[in-house]
Amino acid sequence: MHAAIAWLLIGLASWTLVEYVIHGILSHQLQSFVAPLHAVHHHDQHAVFALGAWVPAVGVMAAMALVWGWAPQTLFYLGLLGGFAGYEIIHYRLHFARTLTPWEVRLRLHHRIHHLVSPSRCFGVSTMLWDWALGTGIGAAERHRYKGLLQLPPLSGPSNLGQLLAAVRPRSR
Ligand SMILES: [Zn+2]
Ligand SMILES: [Zn+2]
């Protein structure tokens, strides 16, 4: 039981590095196949949820559970998926939420600098750890210089998930 929880937590923590690799390296630095998908979000920040990624991500989860049951690798991957879900919520809040915790305020400034000042830096969304470790972060002086970006209001209107739910919801009279 303890080992199972440990594998889940290792997967969850590993998500932060996977997030950095997908966003920073595959989308921005290497212009891989995920770059055009991510560019949609830079073009319109309302498209905040990686909706298309969930279908293959959950498909892999189902396949792993079928083949291996709740083996360590399945639990590790489930932890990764939990991290992905957490990322989606945090990313949504950074763009749309009106009230944020102090921790989210720091992440919001980091993410606004990525969107509005320097897309080649500040790749972390759920943590600034990997930017700090890998040299793509910003220091206190720059954070101070750009803190006016926090004055911009959060986005209004529906996200891409909101639009999808509105489209499939049966109309009430
Ligand atoms: Zn964003
Ligand atoms: Zn980006």
Tens digit of pLDDT for each residue in 58-79? 999 999 999 999 999 999 999 9
From the CA of 92, which ligand is nearest?
A: 1
Q: How far is the CA of 123 from the centre of ligand 1 (A)?
A: 10
From the CA of 91, which ligand is nearest?
A: 1
Q: How far is the CA of 151 from the centre of ligand 2 (A)?
A: 21
Distance CA 75, CA 70 (A): 6
Does any domain span residue 172? no
pLDDT at 92: 97
pLDDT at 78: 97
pLDDT at 172: 63
Distance CA 155, CA 69 (A): 42
From the CA of 112, which ligand is nearest?
A: 1
pLDDT at 125: 97
Distance CA 70, CA 164 (A): 32
Local confidence pLDDT in tens for the 173 residues of the chain:
789 999 999 999 999 999 999 999 999 999 899 999 999 999 999 999 999 999 999 999 999 999 999 999 999 999 999 999 999 999 999 999 998 899 999 999 999 999 999 999 999 999 999 999 999 999 999 999 999 999 999 999 899 999 999 999 887 65
From the CA of 159, which ligand is nearest?
A: 1
Neighbour-count burial of 33, counting CB atoms closer than 10 A to its CB (0-12 exposed, 13-18 middle, 19+ buried): exposed
Distance CA 28, CA 10 (A): 26
Q: Which domain holds residue 56?
A: 2-167
Closest Cα partner for 87 from 23, 148, 132? 23
Residue 148 near residue 40 (C-beta atoms within 8 A): no
Does any domain span residue 90? yes
Residue 64 near residue 77 (C-beta atoms within 8 A): yes
The set of residues, in sequence order, having a beta carbon less than 8 Å from that of 53 and lying 6+ positions away, is 37, 84
Q: How far is the CA of 172 from the centre of ligand 1 (A)?
A: 33
- The total domain count for the chain is 1
Does any domain span residue 173? no
Residue 104 near residue 97 (C-beta atoms within 8 A): yes
37 phi-psi bin (left φ>0, alpha ψ -120 to 50, beta other): alpha
pLDDT at 173: 54
